[in-house]
Amino acid sequence: MVRPVSADRRWGTHHPAYPTALSDVASGLQLRVAGYSGRAGRVVDFAGAEGVRLGAHTLDGAYVEAELDVAGSRLRLEVAKDRDAPTTIVGRVAIEHAEELRLRLWTLLVLERDAAGGRLDDATLGAVPERPAEPGAGGVVLRATARSEHLAVVCDPEPAVCGGYATAVEATTELEAEGYFPPQREPVAEPGAAVARFNHEATATVRFAAALATDAEAAEGAARAALTEADATIAAAGRRAGTEAGGEASAAVRDVLAWNTCWDPANARVATALSRHWTSRKFGGWLVWQSDVLYAALLAATLGDAELVAANLEAVLHGAQPAGNLPCLLSARTEWVDRSHPPLAALVVWQCAARLGDRSLPRRHLDTLLRAHHWWERHRAAGDGLLAYGTSPTGRGLYVGTDLAARNESSMDNSPMFDGVGLTDSGVLDLAEVGLNALHALDGQVLAGIARDAGRAAEADALAEAAARRAEAVRRHLWDDERGVFAGRRGDGTFSPSLSPTSFYPLLAGIAEEAQAEALVEGHLCDPEGFWGAPALPSNALREAATADGAYWRGRVWPPLSFLVHLGLHRSGHRAVAAELAERAWALFAGPWRDERAALEHYDVRADGDHLEPDVDTFYTWSALLPLLALAEVGDVTPWDGARLGPGSGATLLDGRWWHVAARDGGLDVAPPRGPRLRVDGADHLTGVDAEADLLRLTLPAGSAPARVRLEPAAGTLAAALVDGRAVEAERDGAGVGVSVGPRERPVAVTLLLSGSDDGA
């Protein structure tokens, strides 16, 4: 059996409609937990996460935790794997509070097959033991097969009630109609669901184990052995999930990403959804919204999950259209192939590769990315060397050929910058939007670097030249000198009166000249009536009338906007402002996260405002971009800075290796992946960081104070040192051995050759 994921990931919360379903994606077999309240007379199956508070969740499903509400009673579900035997899982459902007589409160464990949770591969359920039964009946083992594999499920205690049903719905209907005393009925010859019921007057805790093996006896033996160690396995997995999380922000990114990673039955793959809530309810079982899934890949790369990075990138890039564009949306119910999304793919692919240390990744996708880049030039030209969002006369997607479709392409559908803007005869909006043009210039810059690394120098030169022309067009035509800001320009030559954070994207693309950058940051970004009066960046300037609407992209805070501007602030050297934005973003996210375990699609512009308004999704993947900013303050990797460490503290993955950074007043302490520790005084961050076997490179930022770079321990570690390529004499003192650098008007490169190297620096 060829499986769609690695063995470590076969079991997981892959069913988008049921977060309490543990699905094996290789067979479509799954165990699903439900509850029954006798007082309410209903089964709570937790569909759509109703009654579920999503807790800790490792990316490989080695530990999963959730709180369940059954008509006011609270249960705690935990599932774990032993990493040495990932095809065996153990679970525990424990009562934490009973809102009714425990005699009437039940946990249901359902074994079934479901294409929404995995690839059905000749999976069938075995005969289901009936309970209650005559005295002396053997223990209950729920069985199933999938081609050459056997599944066995055992429980502790034995279920009070057990039986086979044609479907799980039939069992639910019976329970709600007849109550919890089971009626007499004929056994089902070919069950579609096995349902085991546990009464919480008889037991406070239900434990179960499920094991896969290539023969029935081995599967049962593995399940029974795992059940005896269930509590210990769960406790150990829970501890690992806590210690490996790397802090609250990192754990939040992990949990949001893991819970929203689901099975896509139509394309036989696992990928991260925008929100598991949306996948089954709105889009028929699967969907790929371009920028959302790209962000999911970047989030996975930040945590070092190469398997999930590849799955998410392929979900987007393998959807490329014959015309070359990466479509805005692909789903079971509609395809928006007439439009794309803002051109971010090349940057995301590059950053994922740089995080993971996989230099082949950008080259593998280069031609797809190039075709997507050139599609914009062919289909979205707006004159004067600029681009505009639009809709092409192709496909049957919803809204195709309308200005709404063109606004969809921006991902900011009802932004006030599009008010009063219609389509031109060529199918583009009558607005050369600054964010699109800056991102396309950046796309060209990144692709030029990838092409050069791939040995395609002529293409690299052409891409770099075209990106420079686009950047010049932005500076010439989209700078509003009167307001001191970049802004969209309409066909009649007037600037859009509405400003959004896309006005700051020229910082990200390196387009803004120094005076322009200062005007953008000081005059608009940091203006309390512009963009600095909200907890993170609002979708339009606060002084605008549209802010009062508080509806979607009007007067709300959207995580991607803060993420892209944060990148731009670092590129333009406004690192203190970037750090403050990251702090604000984390505070905004942390409030609903800590209170409700809510990761919101968008937020109110007031810190104490109505974040949980009716039209906001409560567990949305790109919400994790807000805590990601805190992680990026520890370290990041970009085409312009290379690997950056600081100014924050923590662990960061760069080039496939984990670095540990401790910020202190006036400097940094760095633990590289290998070799001696590094102590830096006189700089709060480093760029261009690289560690080889016997070599450490870094760049000190410009600064008015002297800087020192020291290796610890002091003796026998440094063979030679270079500053800006010139050999200097190493210094030794109580802090270690290294070099000193005086006040710097520009960044200064430092290379330390460590003892043991047999070649020169």
126, 143 contact by CB (below 8 A): yes
Handedness of CA 514, 471, 356, 261 (dihedral sign): positive
Among 586, 588, 554, 649, smallest CA distance to 246 is for 649
CA 95 – CA 92 distance, rounded (Å): 10
Same domain, 395 and 521: yes
Beta strands in 301-456, from DSSP E residues, in sequence order: 329-331, 335-336, 381-383, 386-387, 431-432
602, 552 contact by CB (below 8 A): yes
471, 541 contact by CB (below 8 A): no
Question: How large is the average pLDDT for residues 125-141?
Answer: 88
- Write out the H or E segment, with its range, that includes residue 30: strand 29-37
Tokens 């398997």 — which residue? 307
Plot region of 652 (φ>0 → left; ψ -120 to 50 → alpha; else → beta): beta
* Amino acid at the residue 572: S
20, 32 contact by CB (below 8 A): yes
Residue 464 lies in a domain: yes
Indicate if the pLDDT at residue 121 is higher than 90: no
User: 712 or 424: which carries more pLDDT confidence?
Assistant: 424
So what's the pLDDT on residue 98? 97
Kindly report the backbone phi and psi dihedral angles of residue 137, in degrees, each rounded to the nearest multiple of 5, phi listed first.
Answer: -65, 145
Same domain, 403 and 527: yes
So what's the pLDDT on residue 756? 58
Indicate if the pLDDT at residue 715 is higher than 70: no
CA 529 – CA 715 distance, rounded (Å): 56
* Amino acid at the residue 44: V
Among 409, 411, 301, smallest CA distance to 350 is for 301
CA 227 – CA 299 distance, rounded (Å): 34
99, 49 contact by CB (below 8 A): no
For the beta carbon of residue 450, count every other beta carbon within 10 angstroms. 25
Q: Within its chain, how far is the Cα of 507 from the centroid?
A: 24
Same domain, 352 and 457: yes
Q: CA of 10: how far to CAs of 62, 207, 277, 293, in Å?
A: 11, 20, 22, 21
Same domain, 673 and 624: no
**Bridge partners for 110 per DSSP:** 32, 195
Among 188, 217, 243, residue at a domain's last position = 243
DSSP string, 133-173: --TTPPPP-EEEEETTEEEEEEEES--SEEEEESSHHHHHH
- Write out the H or E segment, with its range, that includes residue 710: strand 707-712
Indicate if the pLDDT at residue 473 is higher than 80: yes
Within a 13 Å sphere around the CA of 60, how many CA atoms are in the beta-carbon half? 24
Handedness of CA 236, 237, 243, 244 (dihedral sign): positive
Tokens of 220: 């049962």
The per-residue pLDDT for range 216-244, each reduced to its tens digit, is: 999 999 999 999 999 999 999 999 999 99
260, 275 contact by CB (below 8 A): yes
Residue 2 lies in a domain: no
Same domain, 17 and 134: yes
How do beta strands 635-638 and 603-604 pair? unpaired
So what's the pLDDT on residue 233? 97
CATH number of the structural domain spanning residue 168: 2.70.98.10
Residue 657 lies in a domain: no
Least confident of 65-79, 280-294, 333-347: 280-294
Plot region of 442 (φ>0 → left; ψ -120 to 50 → alpha; else → beta): alpha
What lies within 8 Å, CB to CB, of 173 at 6+ separation is none
Same domain, 628 and 689: no
CATH number of the structural domain spanning residue 706: 2.60.40
CA 449 – CA 452 distance, rounded (Å): 5
**Bridge partners for 161 per DSSP:** 197
Mean pLDDT (the chain) is 95
Among 116, 110, 111, 129, smallest CA distance to 175 is for 110
CA 9 – CA 25 distance, rounded (Å): 8
Please, which pLDDT band fits residue 1 given cuts at 50, 70 and 90?
low
Among 582, 612, 633, residue at a domain's last position = 633
Indicate if the pLDDT at residue 174 is higher than 90: yes
Question: How large is the average pLDDT for residues 183-205?
Answer: 94
* Amino acid at the residue 49: A
Residue 117 lies in a domain: yes
Indicate if the pLDDT at residue 757 is higher than 80: no
* Amino acid at the residue 484: G
What lies within 8 Å, CB to CB, of 468 at 6+ separation is 441
For the beta carbon of residue 363, count every other beta carbon within 10 angstroms. 17
Please, which pLDDT band fits residue 281 given cuts at 50, 70 and 90?
confident
Same domain, 211 and 292: no
The per-residue pLDDT for range 686-713, each reduced to its tens digit, is: 999 998 878 899 999 999 999 999 998 6
Q: CA of 401: how far to CAs of 165, 425, 462, 502, in Å?
A: 49, 11, 32, 24
Same domain, 181 and 264: no
Helices and strands in the chain, H and E counts: 17, 42
Question: How large is the average pLDDT for residues 469-476?
Answer: 98
CA 620 – CA 616 distance, rounded (Å): 9
CA 702 – CA 744 distance, rounded (Å): 5
Question: 3-state DSSP call for residue 566?
Answer: helix
Among 729, 730, 731, 719, smallest CA distance to 761 is for 719
Same domain, 113 and 191: yes
CA 417 – CA 398 distance, rounded (Å): 22
Indicate if the pLDDT at residue 142 is higher than 90: yes
Same domain, 238 and 252: no
For the beta carbon of residue 378, count every other beta carbon within 10 angstroms. 11
* Amino acid at the residue 369: L
Residue 53 lies in a domain: yes
CA 582 – CA 572 distance, rounded (Å): 16
Among 195, 220, 243, residue at a domain's last position = 243
435, 334 contact by CB (below 8 A): no
Question: 3-state DSSP call for residue 703?
Answer: strand
What lies within 8 Å, CB to CB, of 584 at 6+ separation is 535, 536
Among 41, 73, 43, smallest CA distance to 179 is for 41
Residue 658 lies in a domain: no
Residue 436 lies in a domain: yes
Same domain, 690 and 705: yes
Among 181, 176, 182, 146, smallest CA distance to 164 is for 182
| Range 658-696 burial, b when 16+ CB lie within 10 A, else e | ebbbbbeeebbbbbbeebbbbbbbbbbbbbebebeebbb
Indicate if the pLDDT at residue 575 is higher than 90: yes
Range of the domain at 545: 248-633
604, 556 contact by CB (below 8 A): yes
CATH number of the structural domain spanning residue 282: 1.50.10.10
Three-state SS letters, 461-529: HHHHHHHHHHHHHHHHHCEECCCCEECCEECCCCECCCCCHHHHHHHHCCCCCHHHHHHHHHHHHCCCC
Residue 400 lies in a domain: yes
* Amino acid at the residue 25: V
Q: Within its chain, how far is the Cα of 750 from the centroid?
A: 35
The per-residue pLDDT for range 736-745, each reduced to its tens digit, is: 899 999 999 9
Tokens 């969907």 — which residue? 287
Same domain, 209 and 164: yes
Among 476, 552, 486, 473, smallest CA distance to 524 is for 486
Please, which pLDDT band fits residue 714 given cuts at 50, 70 and 90?
low
How do beta strands 21-24 and 29-37 pair? antiparallel
364, 353 contact by CB (below 8 A): no
Please, which pLDDT band fits residue 656 given cuts at 50, 70 and 90?
very high
Residue percentage of the chain with pLDDT more than 90: 89
So what's the pLDDT on residue 759? 41
DSSP string, 248-264: HHHHHHHHHHHHTEEEE
189, 125 contact by CB (below 8 A): no
62, 53 contact by CB (below 8 A): no
Q: CA of 99: how far to CAs of 73, 262, 413, 466, in Å?
A: 5, 33, 45, 67
11, 22 contact by CB (below 8 A): yes
Q: Quote the number of domains for the chain.
A: 3
